Amino acid sequence: MRLPSPPLPLPLSPPLSCIGSFRLASAALLSPLLLLALPAAAADKPNIILILADDLGYGDLGCFGQRHIQTPRIDRLAADGMRLTQFYAGSTVCAPSRCVLMTGLHTGHCYIRGNAKYNLRPEDVTLAEVLNSAGYATGLVGKWGLGHEGSAGVPTRQGFDEFFGYLDQHHAHNYYPAFLMRGEEREELKNVVPGEGDFGSGVATRKIEYSPDLLQREALAFIDRHRAEPFFLYFAPTLPHANNEGGKNGMEVPDLGQYAGQDFPDPQKRLAAMIGRLDDALGKIMAKLKEHGLDENTLVLFSSDNGPHREGGNDPTFFDSSGPLRGIKRDLYEGGIRVPTIARWPGKIRAGSTSDYAGWFPDVLPTLAEVAGATPPTNLDGVSFLPTLLGAQQKDRPPYLYWEFYEGGSAQAVRLGKWKAIRRPLGGERIELFDLSQDLAEERDVAAANPEVVARLKAAMDESHVESPLWKVKK
Ligand SMILES: [Ca+2]
Ligand SMILES: [Ca+2]
| CA of residue 418 to ligand 2 center, whole Å | 35
Q: What is the pLDDT of residue 175?
A: 98
| CA of residue 265 to ligand 1 center, whole Å | 23
| CA of residue 379 to ligand 1 center, whole Å | 26
Instruction: Verify that 187 and 253 share a domain, yes or no.
Output: yes
Mean pLDDT across the stretch 208-231? 98
Ligand nearest to the CA of 238: 1
| CA of residue 263 to ligand 1 center, whole Å | 27
310 within a domain of the structure (yes/no): yes
Examine the fold and report which residue of 376, 397, 418 is the final residue of a domain before the chain moves on.
Answer: 397
Tens of pLDDT, residues 242-279: 999 999 999 999 999 999 999 999 999 999 999 999 99
Q: Is the pLDDT of residue 21 over 80?
A: no
344 within a domain of the structure (yes/no): yes
Query: What is the sign, positive or negative, of the torsion defined by CA atoms of 454, 459, 464, 466?
Result: positive
3 within a domain of the structure (yes/no): no
Tens of pLDDT, residues 115-158: 999 999 999 999 999 999 999 999 999 999 999 999 999 999 99
Instruction: Verify that 280 and 213 share a domain, yes or no.
Output: yes
Q: What is the pLDDT of residue 24?
A: 37
Q: Is the pLDDT of residue 29 over 70?
A: no
Q: Domain with 449 in it: what CATH number? A: 3.30.1120.10
β-strand 231-236 against 47-53: which pairing, if any?
parallel
| CA of residue 181 to ligand 2 center, whole Å | 19
| CA of residue 265 to ligand 2 center, whole Å | 45
Query: What is the sign, positive or negative, of the torsion defined by CA atoms of 253, 258, 260, 264?
Result: negative
| CA of residue 135 to ligand 2 center, whole Å | 16
Tens of pLDDT, residues 389-431: 999 999 999 999 999 999 999 999 999 999 999 999 999 999 9
pLDDT band at 19 (very low <50, low <70, confident <90, very high): very low
Tens of pLDDT, residues 42-58: 457 999 999 999 999 99
Ligand nearest to the CA of 54: 1
| DSSP labels, 236-290 | E--TT---GGGGGG----S--GGGTTSSS-HHHHHHHHHHHHHHHHHHHHHHHHH
Q: Which amino acid is at 345?
A: W
Instruction: Verify that 57 and 124 share a domain, yes or no.
Output: yes
Q: Is the pLDDT of residue 22 over 80?
A: no
| CA of residue 155 to ligand 2 center, whole Å | 9
Instruction: Verify that 76 and 151 share a domain, yes or no.
Output: yes
417: domain range? Answer: 410-464
Mean pLDDT across the stretch 85-99? 98
Q: Is the pLDDT of residue 465 over 50?
A: yes
CB atoms within 10 A of CB 116: 12
Ligand nearest to the CA of 102: 2
Q: In what order do the strands lie in the sheet with 341-344?
A: 185-188, 179-182, 162-166, 137-143, 231-236, 47-53, 298-304, 341-344, 82-84, 353-355
Question: Domain tally for the chain?
Answer: 2
Q: Which amino acid is at 172?
A: A
Q: What is the pLDDT of residue 475?
A: 74
Instruction: Verify that 350 and 439 share a domain, yes or no.
Output: no
Ligand nearest to the CA of 157: 2
Examine the fold and report which residue of 351, 366, 397 is the final residue of a domain before the chain moves on.
Answer: 397
Instruction: Verify that 75 and 139 share a domain, yes or no.
Output: yes
Q: What is the pLDDT of residue 43?
A: 54
User: Cα–Cα distances in Å, from 279 out to 302, 326, 339?
Assistant: 11, 25, 16
- Distance from the Cα of residue 65 to its chain's centroid: 18
Q: Is the pLDDT of residue 373 over 60?
A: yes
SS3 44: helix
Enumerate residues with CB within 5 Å of ligand 1 (an ion): 54-55, 94, 305-306
Q: What is the pLDDT of residue 397?
A: 94
Q: What is the mean pLDDT of the chain?
A: 92
Q: Is the pLDDT of residue 79 over 80?
A: yes
Instruction: Verify that 439 and 310 share a domain, yes or no.
Output: no
Instruction: Verify that 393 and 457 share a domain, yes or no.
Output: no
The DSSP secondary-structure symbol of 350 reads P
11 within a domain of the structure (yes/no): no
Ligand nearest to the CA of 336: 1
Q: Contact at 8 Å (CB) between 427 and 311?
A: no
148 within a domain of the structure (yes/no): yes
Q: Is the pLDDT of residue 384 over 90?
A: yes
| CA of residue 446 to ligand 1 center, whole Å | 30
Q: Is the pLDDT of residue 10 over 80?
A: no
Q: Is the pLDDT of residue 239 over 80?
A: yes
Q: Domain with 125 in it: what CATH number? A: 3.40.720.10
Q: What is the pLDDT of residue 408?
A: 95
| CA of residue 262 to ligand 2 center, whole Å | 47
Q: Is the pLDDT of residue 30 over 80?
A: no
Q: What is the pLDDT of residue 44?
A: 79
